[in-house]
Amino acid sequence: MTAFADSTGGARRPRCYTADVAMRVLIVEDEKRIQDFLSRGLESAGYAVDVAGDGATAISLVHGTEYDLVILDLMLPDTDGLSVLQKVRNRKVSPPVLILSARDAVDDRVKGLELGADDYLTKPFAFVELLARVRALLRRGQPTPERLQVGDLTLDCIRRKVTRGPDAIELAPKEFSILEYMMRNRGRPLSRTMIVEHVWDMDYDGLTNIVDVYIRHLRSKIDDLYPEKMIHTVRGIGYMLDTPEKGAEQLARGG
C-alpha cells in the first residue's frame, strides 16, 4: 500500500512551460511499475500528479483536493475500483474519470461507463494513447489551446502544428510526439529509454536505436535548414532540446 499525496495541498506546482497552472491528476493504481510509468510521464507532460495505491487513500485524497482528472485502475487491493468511482461521482464537483482496465474485463468497462466514467483504456497501453485521452478529458470546458515555444520553434498541441519562424513544418505522428516531449522538457537531457518509454509502448525494451533514427528525421525537418540548432546531442545520455545559447550553457555545466 502506497500513497504519495502531495503535502502542499492546494498549492500547485508550476511545471508547464506554457505558464498555465498545472492541472492536477490523481492516479489510483496499486501496481508500482504502472504508477511510476504514469506519474513520470504525466509530470513531464506538465501535470501535477498525486498517486494513491488503494481505494481508501484515493477516496480520502478526492475528498481533500480538487482534481482535474482521476485515472482509476479497477483492480485495487482493498476495494473494487468501481466503488471508488461511485464515491467520486457522489461528490458535488466530480472530476472526469479515466478507467484503466485489464484486457478482457469487458463487463467492468461497461459497468464503469454506466457508473459515469468518462473514458477507459485497456492495459497494456502506450503512453501517447493515455496522454491523448487525458488531454481530451481535460480539454472539456477548457478551450484554451496549448502551445509550446522554444526560440522560434512553436508546437501547437491541439492543432498538432509545428512552425519554425515563418515556416510550417510537417511531422509524422511519432516525430511530433518526440518533439512535443522534448519541448516540454526543454533544457533537460533525455535518455533514449525515456524517449522510447514516452512515445512508444511501455514495454519497448531494446529498441532505443529507433530514437536515433527519429532524431535524424526531426533534425532534417526542424534544424538542418536553420543556422540555430535546437536539438543537442548529450554524450552518454541522449538528446536535449533548447535554444542554441541555453543548450551550450547546459552542456557546459555537464547537462
Interacting residue ranges for Ca ion, rule: CB under 5 A: 30, 73, 75
Torsions phi, psi of 201, nearest 5?
-60, 155
- Nearest distance, CB of residue 65 and Ca ion, angstroms: 22
DSSP state of 206: T
Residue 199 CB, shortest distance to Ca ion, in Å, is 24
- Residue 102 or 234: which CB sits closer to Ca ion? 102
Q: Least distance (Å) from Ca ion to the CB of residue 75?
A: 4
**Min separation Cβ 82 and Ca ion, Å:** 13
Whichever of 69 and 100 has its CB closer to Ca ion, that residue is: 100
* Segment holding 62, helix H or strand E: helix 55-64
User: Closest CB to Ca ion among 48 and 99?
Assistant: 99
Q: Which three cell numbers, joined as nine digits, stand for 132?
A: 491523448
Instruction: Measure the CA angle with vertex 177, ends 124 and 5; round to 5°.
Output: 60
Q: Cα-Cα-Cα-Cα dihedral of 222, 40, 24, 239, to 10°?
A: -20
> Taking the complex as a whole, how short is the minimal distance between the CB of residue 90 and Ca ion, in angstroms?
22
Q: State in angstroms the smallest separation of the CB of 70 from Ca ion.
A: 15
* CB nearer to Ca ion: pick between 73 and 175: 73
Sign for the CA dihedral angle at 33, 65, 80, 132 comes to: negative
Q: Which is nearer to Ca ion, 30 or 146 (CB)?
A: 30
The answer to whether 70 and 98 are in contact (CB under 8 A) is yes
Residue nearest to Ca ion (CB): 75
Q: 3-state SS string over 126-187?
A: EHHHHHHHHHHHHHCCCCCCCEEEECCEEEECCCCEEEECCEEECCCHHHHHHHHHHHHCCC
Residue 115 Cβ vs Ca ion, minimum distance, rounded to whole Å: 18
Q: Would you say 99 or 178 has its CB closer to Ca ion?
A: 99
* The C-alpha cell that represents 27 in the structure block: 492516479
| Residue 108 vs 146, nearer CB to Ca ion | 108
Q: What spatial distance separates the first Cα and last Cα of the chain, rounded to whole Å?
A: 36
**73-103 CB burial, b ≥16 within 10 A, e <16:** bbebeeeebbebbebbeeeeebbbbbbbbee
